[in-house]
Structure 1
Amino acid sequence: MAARWGFVALLVVLAGCSPASAPALQPPRPLLVGYYTPRGGAAPFHVAQLERSGAADRLTHLVYAFGAVTGGRCTGGAADPDEFAQLRALKQRRPALKVLWSFGGWNGSAGFAAAAADPPAFAASCRALLDDPRWAGLFDGIDVDWEYPNACGATCDTSGPDALPRLTAALRAAFGSDRLVTAAVSADASPGGRLARADYPAAAAHLDWLMTMTYDYAGVGDPAGPTAPHSPLPGAQAAIAELTGRGVPVSKVLLGVGFYGRGWTGVTRDSPGGQATGPAPGGRGPGVEDYRVLRTACPPTGTVAGTSYARCGATWWSYDTPATLTAKARYVRTQGLRGVFCWELAGDTADGELLGALHSALS
């Protein structure tokens, strides 16, 4: 009898902790990831500016870009040990901030073909480089920015659809479960496009997350127009649907946003769809300019497809603003995506307008 009453008492206690009365589990806070390229903009961008702008306090992860892939191995590229020392000091002041080293990029992806021929050797070289005693303790993981496996970017690759999964599997084996392994991936969801050319779901099994480069849909290779938003939300939605439809967990997908605009000149039409005579002059090159410049040089005159556009005389630009990024961040939350990443931090204002808007909307 005593045992029976003990069992009843246990049921009463458990009833007080029933799922109905327990607090609901909250999803993890979305990630806010920023690419840092010291020499990527019109002027050098220093580690100290990460603190002055508030980026160091708002970001969950900082991605240093880029290391090189040479001879099938990870190499330092133009990495500056003094700069790494400053990054390590920054991380010591803000221990919650995680730092990754990204390899590849648009101009540095040709070496991945050789890496895919011997993934274990590639991965071992990357682990050795990230753990170099000169900057030991700085990097929490590695980011692969291969543009694009088994498809064309600045160069074309024919390594096969399984090349990226083999590479990411080797990296995971080399770095283990306590280090981050991530990848920046295409956002081309067109039939037979880049997302269809590689086995991204198999690669995702070895990755902590994938960053979809959901920008540059217009303004690249179309100097005569038509003018169009380069970072439209519908394009992002299609890319994310393609990835998740193929089997990539939505909880491993980050939405990409650009801290820059793409523009044309010789335009006579205010709304999108106009013809042009060429790319607009830009501080980052023909047709490309930072948000920090555009916000005053050519303020928005309208919105389309979840992003802003502006016409100033004969010049037409498309770029995101704090308001459009707030809406994109809300989309990330409602869809259960893992977070947002930005390319890249030097394009923001000195006080971090864009990153601040993302941080507020994701919090």
Structure 2
Amino acid sequence: MTTAPPSRSTRFRRRATAGLAALLLPLAALVGLATPAEAAGPTATYTRTSDWGTGFEGRWTVTNAGTTSVSSWTVEWDFPSGTAVTSGWDADITGSGTHWTAKNKSWNGTLAPGASVSFGFNGTGPGAPTGCKLNGVSCDGGPVVPGDNPPSAPGTPTANGITNTALTLNWTAATDDKGIKNYDVFRGSTKIATVTGTSYADSGLTAGTAYTYSVKARDTADQVGATSGSLTVSTTGGGGGGNKVKLGYFTNWGTYDRNYHVKNLVTSGTAAKITHINYAFGNVQNGQCTIGDAEADHNRAYTAAQSVDGVADTWDAGALRGNFNQLRKLKQQFPHIKVLWSFGGWTWSGGFPQAVANPTAFANSCYNLVEDPRWADVFDGIDLDWEYPNSCGLSCDTSGPAAFKNMMQAMRAKFGANNLVTAAITADASSGGKIDATDYAGAAQYIDWYNVMTYDFFGAFNADGPTAPHSALTTYSGIPQQGFTSDEAITKLKSKGVPATKLNLGIGFYGRGWTGVTQAAPGGSATGPAPGTYEPGIEDYKVLKTSCPSTGTIAGTAYAKCGSNWWSYDTPSTIAGKMTYVKNQGLGGAFFWEFSGDTTNGELATAISTGLQ
């Protein structure tokens, strides 16, 4: 449920940092008074005062600390793509693309010395303002020196040495025609330090918390330059779940018809709320790991507007492009994120039986591809998605119960302790089912975690029904198949000796549905799959939340009947319940399939992140 935005009556006070004196004088007088720099101008400060999930309230405060009245004011700023003003008050706010301009009303343009005025707005999107100007000059009140250009923007900060309470920022130097004096470091909209070098160690932070940093340079005349790009980074740890795995799958084919790109992880706010990405999929062919889609993976050229950092890909010899380059840029902005290359999946699992006949050679081929010098820095390990060892998926395997363990042992031996080695595994806990067919417990000693695919239990692949939740958390009276629930899968894996901390619960960012249904409650008959945007019987959450809103819950999962269609899917509310289960069971975390099913503001990813704090 969306709550109403907070009252607009709240006002904030900001400390003035400089006077206004020379700003209103004619140019000749300005030149005459320069000694060598002009007096600082008024200031404008920004605060994101509240956020209610689908929107936020922002507020600017303009302060005149000078000795001469200001007769009017204009504040300008840029928002990243995906963030916008929807309504405002106490100023006339207009937008052109990503650039926004606010001009005073007729009754609040004059500011006496020492006076402040605030205006506010409602907006959508996760972004913060950059490039702020007040009456044409820097919003922080820096001086203006005729004939002396202000500094350039420093490079976007990076972070290392990240702990529960501290981290170190680094950035590339700004340039200036007269020389750089120092740098102002900002955490959010607050200046936390001024340093002479290009690094800063921040401390006293809260574990498991996301922080956003930016940097501005000052030249020898104390002029302030443009703001660097922003970096959002999360500290490690956190009580009750802040150190849990929060992993999402990014599909290479999603960049085509779905038009979902790495940049969407930033504009949706999701990048700050996850810990890991599984890039899907690489193929398994002729006993080797191979490229899945060369065009999407590393060849497609992204324009500046499509790119994570606003810089277009190049066709220079040896230049990396495509999703791999975008993931590289994403990690530069969000260095807490680890990326794994996932191989196999439903369609490409048929190559595993040949590959595991020589697990050492298979591991060597995978390592050589993942650690290819062109993109070795992009990936932090490998994920194997074999559907299913010693059992049947799209095809059947008879390699034996030890084949999977042998494969994972070879992978760990080759990738070593400094790379992640993980696997997506079945959640079929039925007696004699897929979990029983393979030695998952024996393989667990070689892996960092299992992504247990606790979804797709039921769906219109059984065209006649009965209708049932495809991602049931617990069993219930009338469930079509015992052993087809998340809890039964987790319980069985733990009983076989797989540590709880190596198990991640799976969440589907989509629903499964039938048509020809007359019964609203689960258990009804059907005539076939409900229509879906890309595939019959399947639809994204972002579509279902409005086209077929939830009408009830069963076994910890939502369901809905709209006309003759019946759908089951997870909502932010049911995800909250599942995240409580993750913490109560001591699991390693949660993962989801896949990013593009979420809303543009990342409702489901937010629910996972919030639930695991």
TM-score (norm 1): 0.91
Aligned-residue RMSD, C-alpha: 1.3
1:252 maps to 2:467 = no
Shift of 1:28: 6.8
- Give the structure with the larger strand fraction: 2
1:118 maps to 2:358 = yes
Q: Equivalent residue for 1:272?
A: 522
Q: Equivalent residue for 1:128?
A: 368
Match of 1:144 among 356, 366, 384: 384
Are 2:241 and 2:612, in contact at CA under 8 Å, matched by a contact in 1?
Answer: no
Shift of 1:133: 1.7
Query: What do the CA deviations read for 1:271-290 (whole angstroms, capped 9, x no partner)?
Result: 00111111000013010000
Q: Which stretches in structure 1 are left out of the alignment for 5+ residues?
A: 1-24
1:344 maps to 2:584 = no
| Structure showing greater Rg | 2
Q: Equivalent residue for 1:94?
A: 334
Q: 3-state SS of the aligned residue for 2:542?
A: helix
1:51 maps to 2:276 = no
Query: What do the CA deviations read for 1:288-334 (whole angstroms, capped 9, x no partner)?
Result: 00000000000000010000000001111000000000110011011
The one-letter code of the counterpart of 1:44 is N
Query: What do the CA deviations read for 1:123-182 (whole angstroms, capped 9, x no partner)?
Result: 011111011122120100000000000000000000110000000000000000000000
Q: Equivalent residue for 1:10?
A: none
Q: Which stretches in structure 2 are left out of the alignment for 5+ residues?
A: 1-238, 299-320, 475-484
Q: Equivalent residue for 2:190?
A: none
Q: 3-state SS of the aligned residue for 1:103?
A: strand
Q: Equivalent residue for 2:250?
A: 36
Task: Give me the whole-angstrom Cα distance separating, in 2, the residues matched to 1:203 and 1:98.
Answer: 22
Are 1:69 and 1:75, in contact at CA under 8 Å, matched by a contact in 2?
Answer: yes
The one-letter code of the counterpart of 2:586 is G
Correspondences of 1:1-363 after superposition (within 5 Å): 29-40=243-254, 43-79=258-294, 80-81=297-298, 82=321, 83-234=323-474, 235-363=485-613
Q: 3-state SS of the aligned residue for 2:441?
A: helix
TM-score (norm 2): 0.54
Q: 3-state SS of the aligned residue for 1:197?
A: coil
The one-letter code of the counterpart of 1:149 is P
The one-letter code of the counterpart of 1:37 is T
Are 2:252 and 2:281, in contact at CA under 8 Å, matched by a contact in 1?
Answer: no
The one-letter code of the counterpart of 1:231 is S
Name whichever of 131-140 and 175-184 sits farther off.
Answer: 131-140
Q: Percent identity?
A: 55
Q: Aligned in 2, Cα 1:303/1:240: closer, same or farther, shift over 3 Å?
A: same
Shift of 1:77: 1.5
Query: Per chain length, whose mean CA-contact separation is higher, i.e. which structure has more relative contact order (CA < 8 Å, sep 6+)?
Result: 1
Give the paired residue count. Answer: 339
Q: Give runs of ≥4 in structure 1 deviating > 2 Å.
A: 25-28
The one-letter code of the counterpart of 1:154 is L
Task: Give me the whole-angstrom Cα distance separating, in 2, the residues matched to 1:298 and 1:127.
Answer: 45
Task: Give me the whole-angstrom Cα distance separating, in 1, the residues matched to 2:606 and 2:241.
Answer: 21
The one-letter code of the counterpart of 2:381 is G
Task: Give me the whole-angstrom Cα distance separating, in 2, the residues matched to 1:52 and 1:129.
Answer: 30
Q: 3-state SS of the aligned residue for 1:110?
A: helix
Task: Give me the whole-angstrom Cα distance separating, in 1, the residues matched to 2:545 and 2:458.
Answer: 20
Are 1:185 and 1:212, in contact at CA under 8 Å, matched by a contact in 2?
Answer: yes
Task: Give me the whole-angstrom Cα distance separating, in 2, the residues matched to 1:352 and 1:340.
Answer: 16
Name whichever of 327-336 and 39-48 sits farther off.
Answer: 39-48
Name whichever of 78-87 and 146-155 sits farther off.
Answer: 78-87
Task: Give me the whole-angstrom Cα distance separating, in 2, the residues matched to 1:141 and 1:217.
Answer: 29
Shift of 1:221: 2.2
Task: Give me the whole-angstrom Cα distance separating, in 1, the residues matched to 2:402 and 2:590.
Answer: 27
- Give the structure with the larger helix fraction: 1
Are 1:148 and 1:186, in contact at CA under 8 Å, matched by a contact in 2?
Answer: yes
Shift of 1:356: 0.3
Are 2:246 and 2:609, in contact at CA under 8 Å, matched by a contact in 1?
Answer: yes
Q: 3-state SS of the aligned residue for 1:225?
A: coil
Task: Give me the whole-angstrom Cα distance separating, in 1, the residues matched to 2:252 and 2:284.
Answer: 19
The one-letter code of the counterpart of 2:288 is R
Task: Give me the whole-angstrom Cα distance separating, in 2, the residues matched to 1:300 and 1:36.
Answer: 26
Task: Give me the whole-angstrom Cα distance separating, in 1, the residues matched to 2:441 and 2:460.
Answer: 28
Q: Aligned in 2, Cα 1:26/1:333: closer, same or farther, shift over 3 Å?
A: closer
Are 2:582 and 2:590, in contact at CA under 8 Å, matched by a contact in 1?
Answer: yes
Task: Give me the whole-angstrom Cα distance separating, in 2, the residues matched to 1:63 and 1:122.
Answer: 20
Are 2:254 and 2:261, in contact at CA under 8 Å, matched by a contact in 1?
Answer: no
Are 2:460 and 2:529, in contact at CA under 8 Å, matched by a contact in 1?
Answer: no
Are 1:38 and 1:44, in contact at CA under 8 Å, matched by a contact in 2?
Answer: no
Q: 3-state SS of the aligned residue for 2:611?
A: helix
Name whichever of 147-156 and 76-85 sits farther off.
Answer: 76-85
